[in-house]
Amino acid sequence: MTDDKLHNIRHSLAHLLGASVLELWPEAKNTIGPAVDNGFYYDFDDINLSESELPKIEKKMKEILKKWNGFSHQEVSEKEAKEHFKNNPYKLELIEEIVKSKQKITLYTSGDFTDLCRGGHVENMNELKNAGWKLSRIAGAYWRGDEKNKMLTRIYGLAFETKEKLEEYEKMMIEAEKRDHRKLGKELEIFDFEDEIGPGLPLWLPNGGAMIEELEKLAKETEFENEYVRVKTPHITKEALYLRSGHLPYYKESMFPPMEYEGGKYYLKAMNCPHHHKIFGVRKRSYKELPLRLAEYGTNYRHEKSGELFGLMRVRSLNMNDAHIYCTKEQFASEFKKVNEMYMKYFKIFGIDKYVMRFSTHDPKKLGEKYVDESKLWLETEEMVRNVLVESKIPFVEIPNEAAFYGPKIDVQVWSAIGREFTLATNQVDFAVPKKFDLTYTSKDGKEETPLCIHRAPLGTHERFIGFLIEHYAGNFPFWLAPIQVVVIPVLEKHNESAEKIYKLLRKEGIRAKLENGDENFGKKIRSAKNMRVPYFIIIGDKDISAGKVTLESRDKGNLGQMTEEEVLRLSRKHIDERTS
């Protein structure tokens, strides 16, 4: 089944939901009901429901569906539309917007239910009868997603092509709940949020700090091999920088309000690119210096709405594996290909088998409004990106009207071990902003040329990537990444001295070891290590000491038997050097 057909099933079910709620509660006001990634929803005002009502609504949906024969549509005037929805202020607001945008006003009807709609429905009602769908939950949602507006009642539904597909999805979600990064992140002491600090501002605990160090080490090693140079930029900047870059007009709603200081306005850094442009421009550049690859794990701050914050996946403080590559047009294909190869390397390390590049292009009708007004450069740059993706045989889908304001972009979609989709990272091409910063290099023939800029972040942000990894591994991180790699557990107090000796040896070799020599009994120490999903446990008792060895147990493989200290160190170093479990 195509994406369009599945979208139409979900959208049609939203209509069915709207009709059912209004039949059960005529006083309710229906607002909008779109299709979403796993189903559909509809928002209502003047109604107060609990999830105990969902079976009742589902039953009504099935009753009404038997009477529906299809969708008919009609184009109406502004006056006719307003008359039809005269008692619904939400629909009247939408009609006003349609009129202002000079679009046609269309109504779609099925049975006794008519809705303001642009279309996109099933052609045959059997598609709904054969689909797998159910209502899933009720939540609150602000009208138009704006916290200043009224809170509405949102009813969510799941919908897939078949009942079997719905069952598969539900099984995946049960497993995902067990792997929820918010739950495991707390249990494994990786991160925390505190009211006194603020929503969306994570605190990284020691275990999370260890993971961050390992990810940065991986990125820095990889980037060093690929001849990146590291830079560092401040967390705040003057308003003038974002006015010059163009971010303020296009991106202001996602930035924190400015601070008044010394007669001017300062913003928390929302992105690193303008700062890197300034670094490129500190002096004249020659073509011999290109490509110039500037890398930084930069801390950014985004003013995400409270209702959209979600654990580590949507935060207000984020640390980005950022870099900007300044190159000539002739170098672009090679550089863009190398960035994609870096993604492939990371996918292999983290066991990511399923992925797709989401290639976002511009809408020619929105030049000067949503996108930089450079028609020729848009078409030229998009073709360059498209060619590299095709030649590299990387799976991609092309999505219109979702590019960055300064150029086409790629969002990297990956699937976790249980099949859940995540947006992991981004890769963007910028043909416009370097010109705004007067960035130039001297070409071979002595002319001043403006470089292209590739924005890339293969590991995304620490926040989103670690959130993904928690679910992907279910907290059972590979040895090299695990916050605590080895726990040393003496069987009895008399074994503490031998346990401390090997603990210190492990630490000296750079292995993140923990010594459990407290007053708890042996069984409790083992359970604690297992609960923290530590890859290896070293157990030391009488038999081990007399043999001059230790007993090594693996989280994943069970008891590995007795080993010498040197064998344990060699095995540990192998996991670290090769970045394996």
Q: Return the CATH number of the domain spanning residue range 3-162.
A: 3.30.980.10
Instruction: Specify the pairing of strand 536-540 against strand 486-490.
Output: parallel
pLDDT tens per residue, range 218-254 = 999 999 999 999 999 999 999 999 999 988 877 888 8
What per-residue confidence (pLDDT) applies to 175? 92
Q: Considering the entire predicted model, what is its pTM? A: 0.85
Starting from the edge strand earliest in sequence, which strands make up the sheet with 441-442, in order?
285-286, 441-442, 448-449
Sign of the CA dihedral with 384 first, then 390, 396, and 398 last:
positive
Rg (CA), the chain: 28
d(CA 464, CA 474): 15
Terminal CA-CA length for the chain: 38
Helix axes 206-225, 462-473, angle to 10 degrees: 110
State pLDDT tens for residues 339-370.
Answer: 999 999 999 999 999 999 999 998 888 887 77
Given a cut of 90, whether residue 145 has pLDDT beyond it is: no
Query: Do 466 and 208 contact (CB within 8 A), yes or no?
Result: yes
Report the alpha-carbon distance of residue 453 to residue 241 in Å, rounded.
Answer: 17
The encoded tokens of residue 405 equal 């304001």
Q: What is the mean pLDDT of the chain?
A: 93
Check if the beta carbon of residue 122 is closer than 8 Å to that of residue 2: no
Interhelix angle 54-67/3-24, rounded to 10 degrees, is 110
Mean per-residue pLDDT for 499-513?
96
pLDDT for 470 equals 97
Phi-psi region of 278 (alpha: psi -120 to 50; beta: other; left: phi over 0): alpha
Nearest to 45 by CA among 198, 128, 151: 151
- Sorted by sequence, the CB contacts under 8 Å of residue 335 that are 6+ apart come out as 291, 325, 327, 454
Q: What is the DSSP letter of 53?
A: G
**Check whether domain 183-232+279-473 has CATH 3.40.50.11540, yes or no:** no
Q: Is the pLDDT of residue 426 over 80?
A: yes
Q: Which of 42-56, 197-211, 444-458, 517-531 has the lowest mean pLDDT?
A: 517-531
Residue 520 pLDDT greater than 90, yes or no: no
What's the rounded mean pLDDT across residues 63-87? Answer: 94
Distance CA 215, CA 218 (A): 5
Pair 393, 339: CB distance under 8 Å = no
The pLDDT, as a whole number, for residue 227 is: 97
SS3 455: strand
Backbone region of residue 493 per phi and psi (left: phi > 0; alpha: psi in -120 to 50; beta: other values): alpha
Q: Determine the topology of domain 486-578 in CATH.
A: Rossmann fold (3.40.50)
> Picking from 51-55, 166-170, 309-313, 399-403, which range would have the lowest pLDDT averaged per residue?
399-403
User: Residue with structure tokens 């949020």?
Assistant: 193
Each as own residue / partner, the long-range contacts of residues 161-166 (CB below 8 Å, 24 or more positions apart, any chain) are 161/1, 161/5, 161/6, 161/9, 161/131, 161/132, 162/130, 162/131, 162/132, 163/131, 163/132, 164/132, 165/132, 166/132, 166/133, 166/134
Does position 465 have pLDDT exceeding 70, yes or no? Answer: yes
Section 327-350 average pLDDT: 93
pLDDT of residue 2: 59
Q: Residue 218: in which H helix or E strand, if any? A: helix 206-225
Residue boundaries of the structural domains of the chain: 3-162, 183-232+279-473, 486-578
| Tens-place pLDDT, residues 372-405 | 778 888 888 899 989 999 988 889 999 988 888 7
pLDDT band at residue 311, thresholds of 50, 70 and 90? very high
